[in-house]
Structure 1
Amino acid sequence: MCGIVGFSYPNRRVIKQMADSLKHRGPDGKGYFLDQFVSLGHRRLSIIDLKGGKQPLFNEDKTIVIVFNGEIYNFQELRLRLEKNGHRFKTNSDTEVIVHAYEEYGPNCLKYFNGMFAFCLYDLKKKLLFLARDRFGVKPLYYHINANKQLVFGSEIKALLKNNTVKTAPNSPVIRQYLSQNKIPEDQTDTFFDNIYKVLPGHYLVWQNERLSVREYYSISILSKTIKESTESESVLIHKYQALFKDSVRLRLISDVAVGSCLSGGLDSSSIVANVDNILKKTGNIGSSVKGSLHCFSAVYNDKTIDESYFIKEVVKGKRLLAHYTFPNAKGFKKDLGNLVYHQDEPTETIAVYAQYCVMRLAKHKVKVLLDGQGSDETLAGYIPYYRHFLLDLIKSGQIVQLGIEIAFGYRHLKRMLTSYLKLTKGQWHSRSFFPDNTSRVNYLKKSQMSLKERLWSDIEHTLPNVLRYEDRNSMAFGIEARLPFLDYRLVEFAMSLPSRMKLRRGWTKYILRKSFSDILPPKITWRKNKLGFSVPDYQWLVSNRYYILKVLSSSTAKSQNYFDQMEAIRLFNLMCQDKKNGFYTNYFWRILNLTLWLQVFFNQ
C-alpha cells in the first residue's frame, strides 16, 4: 500500500510537497519521476519485494513508468503468463506485473488483475497518462483539472491541496445532501471539495494532449443484468463458496511482512481468522506473513449492550490466534477527533468510524497488513433491511407457504425493522429544524420496492464505497494495508449468482457463509443472531463532551456557515443532553460537528 501523486507538467518542489503530505500512507520510502511533460511522486509502504519494489518503476527500455497504490494478488500467476510471452522482469514485485501487462494488453490489462489498486502509468512514447482504479473502489484516486488545463491527481484530496494550482471551495450541494439525507457521494464523481473529483470504481482515465477521457471497464449495473441465478444444489454451492473464499484468503496472506486481522466477534471476521487458523494447523507458519499465530485486533467497551468481547474470546479459544484489545472512549474520541477528520478528508456518516480508527492504531505496533470483513453484508444480505426485500420477492413469486415460514422464523428482523423505521421517521421530521434547505428527500419507496438481487447490486455500487473509504483512510493513517477477502471479484460474482435461499433462510442472514464454515467456527458464532458491527456509544460520547461540542457549535466557523441554523442546533443539542429520549438527534449532531470541524481543518474557517 502506498500513496501516489502527479500532474501533467514539471515541478520538483510541488511534487515533493504533495508526496510528503502522504507520508502516513508510505513511511518506508519515496521516489519521483519528472520530464518536460509530467511529474510523478510515490510514498512507499513496503509489503512485497522489500528491496526491489521501489517506485516509480519502469519497463525494460524505460518507455513506461508507473506509480502504484495497492496489491495485485494474482501477480505471480500473471507474471508466469507474461514471461512465456517474452517479457523480462527485474524485480519480484506486483507493480512490475502491471507495467508488462499494459505492454501486452493495453487498457484491457485491468480485466486480468485480481486486486485492489489505484495507479498512474505514463507512456513516454505516446505522452499519455493512464490512471485506473479497482473494480469496487477499495483504493482511492482523485483528480483536478486546473485553470491551465493541466491534470493534478493523488491518492487523497489533502495531497491535491498542496498544489497551488488547485482552486477549490466547499461543495455546497454535496454538503446540503449530507446534512439532510446523510448522503455521502462516494458513488459519484463529486466530492465535498468543489472541482475535485474521484475516479469511480471500475473506471480508468486517459490524459493526452490536454484532454481527459473517462471509461468504464467493470460495470456493476451491467453485471446485475448478465449474471444468471444458479440452479445447482445446496451442497455444490457451499463447496464452491468454500473453495473461492479459501483461495481469496490464501492470496491475501501473500506478504513479506507480518499480517494480522481485525476481529469483531461477528461472522465475517471470525470466518476469516478461522480459515487462517486452519492453514496454520497444517503448516505452522505462513511464509513471512504469519509466524505461528495470527494477531487479531478488536474494539471492546464497558457497555454490555455493544461489547463483543465474549464472542471474540469464543473465536480465539483453542485457535492459533493472539487477541489484542483497544477501548475507545469519550475522552479519546475528543482528543483524536481533529486527526480523524483530517485523515478522512471528507465528512463521514457515523461516529462508529472512530472505533475502526482505534483498531488500526492498535494494530500498527504489531503488523503492517490487516485482513478485514468488509463486503460480506452487501454480497450475502447481512443487513436486516434486506429481509424486507426477500419477503417481497416471495410475495411476488406466489410462494405463500415459504413466506409464512420466513415470517415465523424472522419475526425478530421484522421487529427491528419497524423500530428502526419509526426512529428514522422521527429523526427525519425533526431534521427540518436543523437544515432549512432540506427540500429533497431520499426516495425510500423506490428502494423498498427493489428485489433482493437489485438491492444488493445497488448497495455494492452506491453504499459499499462509503465503507471502503473509511477503511482506507483509517488504516493508512497508521501505515496499515487493509485487505478484504470478501471483495475478491470472483467471490462477489459467485455470491451474486446465488439464489436468495442461500443468503436468507428461516431468519438467518448470510446462510451460505454460516453453512460453509460451521465446522471450524464455534456454534455461538455460526448461529449468532444479534449483529452489532462497529457499534459505539455515540450518544454517551457526545453528551460526555457536551461543553467541547457547544464550543464548536458556537465558533465563528459555525456562525459563518449557511448550511444549518446555528442557534437551533445549540438549543436542540442542549435538549438532547438533558434527556436520552432525544437520542434520535445523535446522528444529526455528529454530521453538524463533523462538518464544522471539516471546514476548520481544510478551509481555515
Structure 2
Amino acid sequence: MCGIAGIFQLGEQGQPDPQILSVMNDRQQHRGPDAGDYFFDPGVGLAHRRLSIIDLEGSPQPMLSACERACVVFNGEIYNFRELHKELSTKGYQFKTHGDTETILNAWLEWGEDCVHHLRGMFAFAIWDRQQQCLFMARDRLGIKPMYYSLLSNGELAFGSELKVLKQHPLFDNRLRETTLEDYFTFGYIPEPHTVYEHSYKLSPGHCMLVRRGMTALPEPRQYWDIPTDWQTPLSESEVQEQLIDRLKEAVDIRMVADVPLGAFLSGGVDSSGVVALMSQLQSDPVNTCAIGFDVKAFNETEFAQMVADRYQTNHRVETVSQNDFDLIDKLADLYDEPYADSSAIPTYRVCELARKHVTVALSGDGGDELFAGYRRYKMHLHEERVRNLLPLGLRRPLFKPLGSLYPKLDWAPKFLRAKTTFQSMAMDTVQGYHNSMSILRADERAKLFSADFRQRLNGYSSLAVFERYADKVKHLDPMKIAQYLDMKTYLVGDILTKVDRASMAHSLEVRVPILDHKFVEWAFKTPSNHNLHDGIGKYSFKKALEPHLPEDVLYRKKMGFAVPLADWFRGPLKSRLYDNLLSTQMLDAGYFDEKQIRKLISDHVNGLRDNSAPLWTMMMFESFLRQQSGAA
C-alpha cells in the first residue's frame, strides 16, 4: 500500500517544480514510510511513498518499463499479478521484478486503456507514456483506493492519493463548492466525483481518464466497469448455498499473499467473522486477529469476537476503549481533509492502531451489508414500498405529505410512534423515499438549518441529484436492489471505504477487502432480494451459507454496529464544547447557517426532548473542517 502524487503539464513542456512535488509527497508519508522517490520528464513529475508488502527489496517506484517507454506510480494490490506475469511473458515482455507494479506497466504496453479489464485487485495508478505523450489514470472498480485530481490555473494537472497532497500546491484553489454542503448535511460525506473544493475531484470507482499533451481542458473520465444489473436469470437458492463459500474463500485466498505479517479485523459481526473463519481454513498457522471493545456493554461486541477466536484458535488481541474516547475529534478533520461525519471513524482508527502493532496487512469484512442487504434500513424501505404499491402516488402524496409535515419528531417515544420520516417517505417515489430515509438531516431540516442567503445561493439544488445520477440504470430492478445499488455507488465508497482507507493508512496499515472482490460482487449481486431479506432476517443467504462455519449467536444476534455514545457525550462531557464550537464566530460568520436553528438543535438535545446527536456531530465535524481550512485548528 502506498501514496502517489504527480504533476502533468497539459501545454508547454516545462519542468514541474521538484520542490513543490517533494512537499506534496512528504505530506502523505504516513501512507508509505518505507521509501519515497521521484521521476521527472519534460512536463511530467511523478512521486511515490512506499509501504512494502510484496517483493520487499525490489519493485521501487516510480517504475520505468524495461523498454523505458512508460513510467507508473501505483497504490494498491493486484492479486492476479502472477497469472498476468506469465501471460505477458509469453508475449515477449520483460520483467525485472517479482511484484505486481511491473505487471501494470506491461499490461498498459500490451492492452493500452483496456489494461484495467485485466487487473483484479484494489488500485489507483497513473502511467506516463513517453511515446504517446499521455497520462493515464485509473481507479479500481469498487473505489477501495482513492485518487484525487485538480486542474490548476497554470495548466498543470495535480493528482494524489489524498486531498491534502493537492492542497500543498501553491496554486491549489481552496474555494468551496457550495452544493457539496447540501450533500454533506444529507449524507455526512462528500459523494463522488466531487470534493468540497470547487475545482478538485475524485476519480470515481470503475473510471479511468486519459489526458494527452496539448489538451486545453480535462476530458470526462470514462467508466470501464459497473455492478452488473442486466442478468437474465437470478441465482437460485441452491446455487447461492452451493457456491458462496467456495467463491468467497477464493477471494480471501488471493488476498493472503504478503511478505509481511498478515491478520484480520474481528469485530464479532457476521462479515469479519466469516472472513476469519475462511482464513483459518486456508492457512495452518493461527490467524492474527484484533478487536476493539468499549467499557459500555451496549457498544461492546468483544464476547462475540472471542467466540470466533476460540473456535478457530486465532492469535487474538483485544483493547478496550473508554466510552469517552473523544480525543480524536480534532484529528479527524486532518485525517479526512474534507467534512466527514461518520463517528465510527473513532473506533476504526483505534482498531487500525491496534492491528498495526502486530501486522502490516489486515483483511476486513467491509461490503457485506451492502452486497447482501444487512442494514436494518432495507427492511423499513421494503415496508414503505409495500404501501407505495397499494396506493398510487397521486393518492399517497395528498394523504401522507400533510402528515409528514404536521407529525412531530418523537425521538423519545416508542419506535412505533416515530413515524415522521416514514410519512414523509410515503409521499415520495422509491428513490426519493430512500434518499429521505438515508438523510442525516431531511430536506425540511436542512432548509431550517441553512441561512436564507445560503438557500438562495443553492438555487434549488438538492442532494437528491446524487441518487438520481445512478437511479436510471436500476429502475428495472426491485426496490431493495435499487437501494443496495445506490448504497454501493454512494455510501460504500464515500463513507465506509473512505473511513477505512484514511484510518488504516494513518497507521501505515494495508487493509484488504475480499467481499468486495469484483468477481465475487458480480456473482453475488444476482442473489434475489427475498433470499437476502427473508422473514425479517437481513443477509439471510450469506448467514445460511456460513452456518457450518460460525456460532449461531454470531450469525443471528441483533446487529450492533461500530458506534460511539454521541448522545451521551453531547449531554455530558462534550456539552460545553457543543455550544463553543457550533456557536463560534467562525461557524456563524461562514454565512451558511441560521443561528436560531443551531441553538434549538443543541437545546432540544441537551434537554432530552430529541436525539439530535447525528446532526450535531455532523455540524461539529464541519466546524472542525472550517477551523482547519482557516489554519486555526
* TM-score interval, smaller chain: 0.7 to 0.9
Does the CA-based 8 Å contact 1:390-1:500 persist in structure 2? no
Offset at residue 307 of structure 1 (A) = 1.6
Amino acid at match of 1:272: V
User: SS of the residue aligned with 2:104?
Assistant: helix
Q: Which residue of 2 aligns with 1:462?
A: 490
Within the alignment, does 1:12 sit opposite 2:28 as a pair? no
Q: Which residue of 1 aligns with 2:520?
A: 491
Give deviations 1:356-410, integer Å, cap 9, x for gaps: 1111111121111111111111111111222355568889999xxxxxxxxxxxx
User: SS of the residue aligned with 1:506?
Assistant: coil
Does the CA-based 8 Å contact 1:31-1:56 persist in structure 2? yes
Find the partner of 2:267 among 264, 282, 285. Answer: 264
For the residues of structure 2 that align with 1:382 and 1:504, how far apart are their CA atoms?
8
Q: Which residue of 1 aligns with 2:333?
A: 341
Deviates more, 1:349-358 or 1:156-165: 349-358
Does the CA-based 8 Å contact 1:378-1:460 persist in structure 2? yes
Find the partner of 2:232 among 225, 228, 235. Answer: 228
Find the partner of 1:182 among 183, 187, 203. Answer: 187
Does the CA-based 8 Å contact 1:553-1:566 persist in structure 2? no
Cα separation, partners in 2 of 1:538 and 1:29, compared to 1, 3 Å = same
Does the CA-based 8 Å contact 2:440-2:615 persist in structure 1? no
Q: Which residue of 2 aligns with 1:287?
A: none
Offset at residue 18 of structure 1 (A) = 0.4
Within the alignment, does 1:98 sit opposite 2:104 as a pair? yes
For the residues of structure 1 that align with 2:365 and 2:117, how far apart are their CA atoms?
24
Find the partner of 2:378 among 386, 395, 404. Answer: 386
Offset at residue 54 of structure 1 (A) = 1.2
**Which ranges of structure 1 fall in alignment gaps of 5 or more residues?**
285-291, 399-414
For the residues of structure 1 that align with 2:417 and 2:580, how far apart are their CA atoms?
36
Find the partner of 2:40 among 12, 34, 37. Answer: 34
Offset at residue 418 of structure 1 (A) = 7.7
Superposed CA RMSD in Å reads 2.7
Q: Which residue of 2 aligns with 1:197?
A: 201
Offset at residue 268 of structure 1 (A) = 0.4
Does the CA-based 8 Å contact 1:295-1:321 persist in structure 2? yes
For the residues of structure 2 that align with 1:69 and 1:325, how far apart are their CA atoms?
30
Within the alignment, does 1:244 sit opposite 2:273 as a pair? no
Does the CA-based 8 Å contact 1:296-1:321 persist in structure 2? yes
Find the partner of 1:434 among 430, 434, 449. Answer: 449
Find the partner of 1:590 among 584, 608, 617. Answer: 617
Does the CA-based 8 Å contact 2:182-2:462 persist in structure 1? no
Deviates more, 1:13-22 or 1:561-570: 561-570
Within the alignment, does 1:313 sit opposite 2:319 as a pair? no
User: SS of the residue aligned with 1:77?
Assistant: helix
For the residues of structure 1 that align with 2:75 and 2:129, how far apart are their CA atoms?
18
Deviates more, 1:271-280 or 1:300-309: 300-309
Q: Which residue of 2 aligns with 1:402?
A: none
Deviates more, 1:206-215 or 1:73-82: 206-215
Offset at residue 163 of structure 1 (A) = 0.7
User: SS of the residue aligned with 2:305?
Assistant: helix
Give deviations 1:517-560, integer Å, cap 9, x for gaps: 211111211222x1122122111233322223333234332232
Offset at residue 431 of structure 1 (A) = 5.2
For the residues of structure 2 that align with 1:560 and 1:358, how far apart are their CA atoms?
34
For the residues of structure 2 that align with 1:565 and 1:395, how far apart are their CA atoms?
36
Within the alignment, does 1:355 sit opposite 2:347 as a pair? yes
For the residues of structure 1 that align with 2:126 and 2:561, how far apart are their CA atoms?
35
For the residues of structure 2 that align with 1:136 and 1:164, how far apart are their CA atoms?
32
Cα separation, partners in 2 of 1:420 and 1:427, compared to 1, 3 Å = farther
User: SS of the residue aligned with 2:253?
Assistant: helix
For the residues of structure 1 that align with 2:26 and 2:369, how far apart are their CA atoms?
36
Does the CA-based 8 Å contact 1:203-1:214 persist in structure 2? no
For the residues of structure 2 that align with 1:496 and 1:253, how far apart are their CA atoms?
24
TM-score, normalization by structure 1: 0.88
Within the alignment, does 1:513 sit opposite 2:513 as a pair? no
Q: Which residue of 2 aligns with 1:409?
A: none
Does the CA-based 8 Å contact 1:68-1:117 persist in structure 2? yes
Q: Which residue of 2 aligns with 1:405?
A: none
Q: Which residue of 2 aligns with 1:408?
A: none
Cα separation, partners in 2 of 1:417 and 1:196, compared to 1, 3 Å = farther
For the residues of structure 2 that align with 1:267 and 1:231, how far apart are their CA atoms?
22
Offset at residue 458 of structure 1 (A) = 2.0
Offset at residue 229 of structure 1 (A) = 3.0
Offset at residue 574 of structure 1 (A) = 4.2
For the residues of structure 2 that align with 1:418 and 1:259, how far apart are their CA atoms?
48
Cα separation, partners in 2 of 1:297 and 1:573, compared to 1, 3 Å = same
User: SS of the residue aligned with 1:502?
Assistant: helix
User: SS of the residue aligned with 1:278?
Assistant: helix
Cα separation, partners in 2 of 1:195 and 1:571, compared to 1, 3 Å = same
Q: Which residue of 2 aligns with 1:288?
A: none
Amino acid at match of 2:349: Y
Within the alignment, does 1:207 sit opposite 2:206 as a pair? no
For the residues of structure 2 that align with 1:278 and 1:393, how far apart are their CA atoms?
41
For the residues of structure 1 that align with 2:174 and 2:440, how far apart are their CA atoms?
36
Within the alignment, does 1:373 sit opposite 2:365 as a pair? yes
Does the CA-based 8 Å contact 2:295-2:321 persist in structure 1? no
Cα separation, partners in 2 of 1:129 and 1:454, compared to 1, 3 Å = same
Q: Which residue of 1 aligns with 2:434?
A: none
Does the CA-based 8 Å contact 1:392-1:451 persist in structure 2? no
Find the partner of 1:295 among 288, 296, 300. Answer: 288
Offset at residue 60 of structure 1 (A) = 0.8
Amino acid at match of 1:593: M
Does the CA-based 8 Å contact 2:247-2:520 persist in structure 1? yes
For the residues of structure 1 that align with 2:105 and 2:127, how far apart are their CA atoms?
8
For the residues of structure 2 that align with 1:157 and 1:390, how far apart are their CA atoms?
38
Q: Which residue of 2 aligns with 1:602?
A: 629
Instruction: Count how many residue pairs are aligned between Structure 1 and Structure 2.
Output: 570
Deviates more, 1:360-369 or 1:379-388: 379-388
Offset at residue 259 of structure 1 (A) = 1.3
For the residues of structure 2 that align with 1:107 and 1:538, how far apart are their CA atoms?
46
TM-score, normalization by structure 2: 0.84
Offset at residue 352 of structure 1 (A) = 1.7
Within the alignment, does 1:537 sit opposite 2:565 as a pair? yes
Offset at residue 166 of structure 1 (A) = 1.5
Give deviations 1:195-222, integer Å, cap 9, x for gaps: 111111111111112423234343437x
Q: Which residue of 2 aligns with 1:289?
A: none
For the residues of structure 1 that align with 2:419 and 2:336, how far apart are their CA atoms?
27
Q: Give aligned-pair identity as a percent.
A: 30
Q: Which residue of 1 aligns with 2:356?
A: 364
Deviates more, 1:472-481 or 1:310-319: 310-319
For the residues of structure 2 that align with 1:486 and 1:427, how far apart are their CA atoms?
30
Offset at residue 168 of structure 1 (A) = 1.9
Cα separation, partners in 2 of 1:373 and 1:231, compared to 1, 3 Å = closer
For the residues of structure 1 that align with 2:121 and 2:290, how far apart are their CA atoms?
23
Q: Which residue of 1 aligns with 2:162?
A: 156
User: SS of the residue aligned with 2:57?
Assistant: coil
Does the CA-based 8 Å contact 1:171-1:194 persist in structure 2? yes
Within the alignment, does 1:471 sit opposite 2:500 as a pair? yes
